Amino acid sequence: MSVYDQVPVFENGLAQPVFPFTDGKSGEAYDAVNSAVVRYCVYVESDYDADGDGKCDLVKALIQVPRSAAEGHYKAATVFEARPYCAGVNADGYEHMKEAEDADTPAFDFSSLYRKAAHGDPSEYISAIDAAMKADPVEWYFEDKGSEGSYCYENLDNFNYYLVRGFAVVVSAGFGSLGSDGFELVGSSYERDAFRCVVEWLHGDRTAYTDRTRTVATRADWSNGKVAMTGRSYAGTMPFAVAVTGVAGLETIIPVAGISDWYSFLNQQGAQRYWPKEMLMSFLSYYCTSRYSDPQLSDEQRAELDAFHHQLSLEQLKSGCDYSDFWKEGNYTLQADGIRCSALIVHGLHDENVSTKQFEMMYKSFRQAGQNVKLMIHQGPHITPTMPNKGYGILIEGQYYDDIVNRWISHWLCGIDNGAEDMPAVLVQSNIEQDVWEKADSWETGIALALGSVSEGVSSLNTDWAAAGIDQNNFDEKMSTASGCMNRRYMTQHLDESVTIQGTVCVDFSAALESGDAAAAFEGENVNDADKLSFALGTSAGKMDDVKMTVLLCDIAEEEFDSIQTTDAERNVVPVRNINEGGLPMGGGIDALDVREFETQHRNWNVITRAYIDLCNPDSAYEPETSADSVELKTGEAHAYHVYMNAARYTVVPGHRLAVVLGTEDPVNCLIHKKYTVTVDDSSVRAILPVTATAEPKALYADK
């Protein structure tokens, strides 16, 4: 048998690396005639005509498939990454937001994106292998004009592991990207449907062309019709978005650090939770709109993109940091009944980019839909357990992450009876010993530990950063280790037994606005140099908004202890160290990756989880949509608050103390630095902690 007519081989439930690999980055390394992996681009016909030219808009997708499948020796299952960044980005996002802050652009009608047109009726089809023979690497690997020194489809190597095991790999950047039509309307059904159309083409239900002229069409004649969507961050979000459509052919998803609800990505219970200068969805939309780099873009088309982005800003500004219909389409949890596939959900417990609440909401949605869903939760930040672009991976119960995914998709896409569907519902890395991965039958424990304050009196908390001696670099430490003018700690006695928290902690308290010039928007300062439109977000709704309280749950000890923590000001980096160079084989002649583990910090405190709430949203609860209603705070008028913290899994050992910390502004996530003082009724502070084993209620003592 030739290396070009090999078929997939499965051993021990895994697809084996029996296919040779050919790099596809340049003409020198890639020769379609002699390549074991062939590549070509298709332009999938969508349902929409956003530009009004009477033709359905096209969505570009890059196809990578073992030559054997393209030549018809077997039908390949597909790993699909929907990643708006892959076709290029606009790295000047911050500068652009300031350039556009005073823009005088015409209004943009978002309903025009959904215009319908007649589908094409191609008279000529060519095979995948013929399309691949005509393809040129310049179609998928070229310098990104929007980001100096970067290349488009820079994630070309992320899935080589799967190519040498017989899977096809497809990537697409969707609407608004270079090579595609349309606009990048973040978090909308319009955005989602571009990727749904790609799945439909892979399943045999939609037309795709070999180029933008629409003269020649091609089918995915190598495809077995079954697709797994995966990827991290934005690429981990779109699998969930497409899954709620119930599209045929999507058999499973493996979302990594994906978003379930775009409102909760940027906001939390009425308060801003994300990095200040990226709070407007138009920032991300512009960043991903690589169509700006299209040399054939006319001045009129460029002006229309500008108008689109400006209007997107104005639409978000209408609701400020509160929930509204603006966010509804991006709240995929509301559409959970449409899910028809399984899911292996992956997330890091130290991910401050996409909060851990997102994986929990996604998990609940799949449970609601009655589908097979698993959680695989590690101690890292915003990463994938395998990072090919950085040359390393972490082990999961001594296993390679991609081997676990291999087993999962071999079952769901190839019908291999390997028991993947019966893996533990929850697999989570211990914060005490990295080599230990705990298992559970469900994320919900059904057991709670109650913490209740036994202190009387009130605590007065202000927003005076200077008096508190805090900044972006020391906020967590200052809040965790002592009470001050900006925070109050409520602490248990030393624990006499281990407590393992698993789920969402709820903290209740009663608070009132003590002072502040509400008429002057609390004398807000633009301390993070945000553009005018972003800075206006806290006042644009025409009502009091984003009077922030920060809530932390901390592990405190007299002696320093080892813990995994982020180490940068933005809380986005957990350092790693090498423990086995080249210890993760990729197979197929691809370079092996190093095995690394997370470095630990030696401190007497650790933030277990955090949350924010706007005091103007006392009715806000866990569900994003409960943050739609708000009140005008009146001096001295108290309200009861219920803060739902980001999902956590953490073991506190005997001799340590738990601390509930209430504070005001967090300088890391502070768009508008306001001046106000809040009083908290110390006796009102309560916390309910989901735990894995029964424990006696604990008293909280205000640390004055």
Q: pLDDT tens-digit profile of 19-69?
A: 999 998 876 778 899 899 999 999 999 999 999 999 999 999 999 999 999
Number of H helices, E strands in the chain: 14, 36
| Catalytic residue status for 382 | yes
Residue 513's pLDDT is 98
Tell me the C-alpha distance between 254 and 256, whole Å. Answer: 6
Kindly state the average pLDDT of the residues 182-187: 98
| pLDDT at site 155 | 81
Say which of 47, 57, 193, 351 is annotated catalytic. 351
Backbone angles phi, psi at 363, to 5 degrees: -60, -45
Q: Any idea what the Cα angle at residue 135 is, between residues 132 and 141, rounded to 5°?
A: 115
In a domain, 348, yes or no: no
Q: Among 299, 320, 342, where does a domain finish?
A: 342
Domain count, the chain: 2
Angstrom distances, CA of residue 61 to CA of 124, 288, 654? 20, 16, 54
Pull the structure tokens for residue 365. Answer: 């949605």
What confidence score (pLDDT) does residue 103 get?
85
Q: Measuring CA to CA, which residue among 361, 43, 67, 338 is closest to residue 211?
A: 43
Decide if pLDDT at 488 tops 60. Answer: yes
Please tell me which residue in 189, 233, 290, 540 is annotated as part of the active site. 233
The pairing of strands 168-172 and 76-82 is parallel
Tokens of 44: 């999938």
Q: Is residue 245 part of a domain?
A: yes
Burial class of residue 92, CB neighbours in 10 A (0-12, 13-18, 19+): middle
Catalytically annotated residue among 382, 411, 642, 656: 382
Instruction: Report the residue count for the chain.
Output: 704
CA distance 646 to 357: 5
Q: β-pairing, 399-400 with 426-429?
A: unpaired
In a domain, residue 532? The reply is: yes
Q: Given a cut of 60, is residue 702 above it in pLDDT?
A: yes
Asked about 233 being catalytic, the answer comes back as: yes
Per-residue pLDDT at 29: 75
Per-residue pLDDT for 624 more than 70?
A: yes
Question: Above 70 in pLDDT, residue 306?
Answer: yes
- 289, 322, 342 — which closes off a domain? 342
- Where does a domain end: 289, 318, 342? 342
Mean pLDDT on 203-216: 96
Same domain flag for 187 and 330: yes
Distance CA 312, CA 609 (A): 32
Q: Are residues 169 and 291 in the same domain?
A: yes
Residue 376: which of 420, 346, 355 has the closest Cα? 346
Residue whose token pair is 């083409």: 201
Q: Are residues 331 and 459 in the same domain?
A: no
Residue 252 falls inside a structural domain = yes
**Tell me, what's the pLDDT at 4?**
79
What pLDDT, on the 0 to 100 scale, is given for residue 486? 98
- Mean pLDDT score, 139-165: 93
CATH number for the domain spanning 70: value is 3.40.50
Point out the least confidently predicted range of 104-108, 288-292, 420-424, 624-628.
104-108
Determine whether 656 is an active site residue.
no
The answer to whether residue 160 is domain-embedded is yes
Q: What is the pLDDT of residue 26?
A: 75
User: For residue 123, what pLDDT is reported?
Assistant: 87
Sequence-distant (6+) residues with CB within 8 A of 520 are none
pLDDT score of 490: 98
pLDDT of residue 1: 47
How far is C-alpha 618 from the chain's CA centre? 27
Query: What mean pLDDT comes out for the span 583-596?
Result: 94
Cα-based angle 231, 235, 237 (whole degrees, multiple of 5): 110
Q: Are 335 and 456 within one domain?
A: no
**How confident is the prediction for the chain on average, in pLDDT?**
96
In this predicted structure, the answer to whether residue 215 has a pLDDT above a threshold of 60 is yes
For the record, the structure tokens of 650 come out as 């953490």
Mean pLDDT of all residues in 459-468: 98
What is the number of other CB atoms lying within 10 angstroms of the CB of residue 594? 18
In this structure, of 92-106, 325-339, 451-465, the range with the lowest mean pLDDT score is: 92-106
**What pLDDT does residue 154 have?**
82
| Measured CA distances, 450 to 461, 484, 610, 657 (Å) | 25, 25, 18, 14
**What is the model's pTM?**
0.98
Check whether residue 334 and residue 452 sit in a common domain: no
CATH code (residue 647): 2.60.120.260
The two beta strands, 208-209 and 399-400, are: unpaired
Residue 580 lies in a domain: no
Residue 586 lies in a domain: no
What is the rounded distance in angstroms from the CA atom of residue 355 to the CA atom of residue 657?
A: 25
Summarize pLDDT for 321-336 with one digit per residue, the tens: 999 999 999 999 999 9
- Nearest alpha-carbon partner for 160 in 416, 402, 411: 402
pLDDT band at 2 (very low <50, low <70, confident <90, very high): low
User: Strands 399-400 and 395-396: what pairing?
Assistant: antiparallel
- 677's enclosing H/E stretch is strand 677-681
| Per-residue pLDDT tens digits for 397-410 | 999 999 999 999 99
The answer as to whether 595 is a domain residue is no
Q: How far apart are CA 663 and CA 679, in angstroms?
A: 11
The residue-averaged pLDDT of 228-247 equals 98
Q: Which residues of 262-300 are buried (b: 16+ CB within 10 A; e: fewer)?
A: bbbbbbbbbbbbbbbbbbbbbbbbbbbbbbbbbeeeeee
What is the band of 80 on the pLDDT scale with cuts at 50, 70, 90?
very high
Host domain of residue 697: 448-564+602-703
The pLDDT value recorded for residue 3 is 65
Residues 74 and 188 in one domain: yes
